[in-house]
Structure 1
Amino acid sequence: MTHLFKSLAIPCSVAALLLTAMSAHAQSSVTISGLVDVGVYRGFDKTTQLGTIQRSNIAFNGVEDLGGGLAATFKLSHRFDLDTGLQEGVGAKPFWHGESTVGVKGAWGSVRLGRALDAVWANDWAYDPWYNFNRIASPAWQYWHYNYTSDRTSNNGSPEYGRLSNGVFYDSPSFGGFAFHLSGSFEDSIGPDGGTSNNLGLSLNYDKGPISAMLAHSKNSSEDTVTFVGGKYTVGAWSVMGAYDRSKFEGAVDAIAKVYTVGTAYRLGAAEFKLGFGRLDASGAKSKFLGVGADYWLSKRTSVYVSAGRNNPSEGASTTAYGVGLAHSF
């Protein structure tokens, strides 16, 4: 009889381990998402090519239930060029260029540690018809944060225009439509005046019903600054939006850029039409930008689109770009 109990103990312990593993699996998940995009376009440099108009990326998101209303999170996001299969900006940007964070979230909000978009760049996209995501037609892509980088030397000595490495990121829950977002780094670096400084950004957002608004400010470790104000109103199939951006590059001679953009989008069945205009004054050098485009959704995840943009500086020749592309999200 003792021998029988011993023989039964082995499969019972295995079953217990399997049940524990299955329980843990049910409390955690990993999802894969991203976008693949490619188009044929004539760029502002007057060359025609097959390549990226938007951004191709793949992301791994993980969540584990810790109990008590808490959950652990992680995100790893890689960007690449679909036409060649190469890493975007290979040789300069890190492999997990999009984001590489781990954190904890609960009813009080979420905290992430690692590399991610700072508080300004992570939230400004809502105030551009192309979500600051189209290098041909988007006035935001061309002009926003003109003299500001999140870190001047983040990518092996080259500037990083949106993401903060070695960062801490906090996103609050919504309070009656209001939420705030913080980003910063505890690591001091030497500024242009010889002193030490670090990165700190704050964004206050309102999203409720047809109204969306944002007020944000950020300072990098070189003491460059950016201030951003955005607003959007949606009624039926129409969305109208506008933004003001002021960015300052701290140096021997400070460079200040002021940007105004307005845009609209109209949804008609499976199609969406977009129009955007921007005006830039960068330390007296002025320029205007006009973007137009249309997306046609073949399904909830797949679209074909056309984009065109014209940059008209106060000095020098105007340049035009246009193209057609195909995008699929997953």
Structure 2
Amino acid sequence: MRRGLELAALGPAVGDHARVGAVILSPEGDVLAEGWHKGAGTPHAEVDAMAKVDPEHLRGATAVVTLEPCNHTGRTGPCAVALLEAGVARVVYAIDDPGADVHGGADRLRAAGLEVVSGVLASEAEAFLERWLLSVRLGRPWVTVKWASSLDGRAAAADGTSKWITGAAARQHVHEQRAAHDAILVGTGTVLADDPSLTARGDAGELLADQPLAVVLGDRAVPADAAVRRHPRGLVTLPGHDLATSLGALRGHGVHSVFVEGGPTVASALIAAGLADEYLVYVAPVLLGGPRVALGDLGVGSMPARRRLDVLSTTALGPDLLVRARPQHPGPPEHPQHLDDGATLDHHDDGSTNDRSTT
């Protein structure tokens, strides 16, 4: 199973699929083949592995898979049926598939007389697939909220300028994180104020191989000549002010993870609504003072209501510090907040942001 997780990591980290690995064992316990899911529309891991074995050697074999074999017909056929037809005698997997349409493969295999064992290295598999599992279970993408700030928590100077708060290493890390998510989200104010490209780029400004889907949140129209309309992955606009509904709509676009760079208003609204799953905070060793804080109102009126975080890691990026953290007890507040489109957001291509309020 641990080898299966290693194989799963070979699959693409972004896209509308789970990363799954599989190992086929002979009745004597020898490895016959290995496989992994290489992306949406390609054979699933167990089918990929079985295709490398002569059919006569599959009879009586054991399939070790990191996720429960699927039980539905989508872009590919049900893996449970493929295992039955191949004559596999035993299936071992780590965690149940939470998808309502695909769950049930294990029951189907048991009903056909196969030995089925579940829960092997379940905690490791849960951690490996955490983004995808959350998106399927909650019906909305995993949300990473990012901001860059000075040591005193400012996202811009008093005059609104924010280039460059952080150094080159931190800015490049932001681009890598964009590429590691299915989508990048900003507000309409960001687009109108800064005309960002919302692409993931390398050190020389070249486009990286993996590009996030560009998502713009808000009611105002994106100009016809906006740079984001030339995004290589395309553009999705989400009107309205219900953040949970907007995030849920992204699941229809195959988005399992979203990188939020929408400025203090969008970031604060998501956090206040209990919709932030992870924080990436890039802190520069500078002091700015003034009113341009990195976050706005979070609905915290007193110390007992403060939002506690677990810091997972701190990483030096040149002169800057990256703090990676997660909520201790994520969840919506008693009175969920909505994004007020009366506030617009500035977004700069270094990944830093500042807030502008319209009148």
* Structure ranking higher in helix proportion: 2
Q: TM-score range by the shorter chain?
A: under 0.3
* Structure ranking higher in strand proportion: 1
Calculate the TM-score normalised by the size of structure 2: 0.22
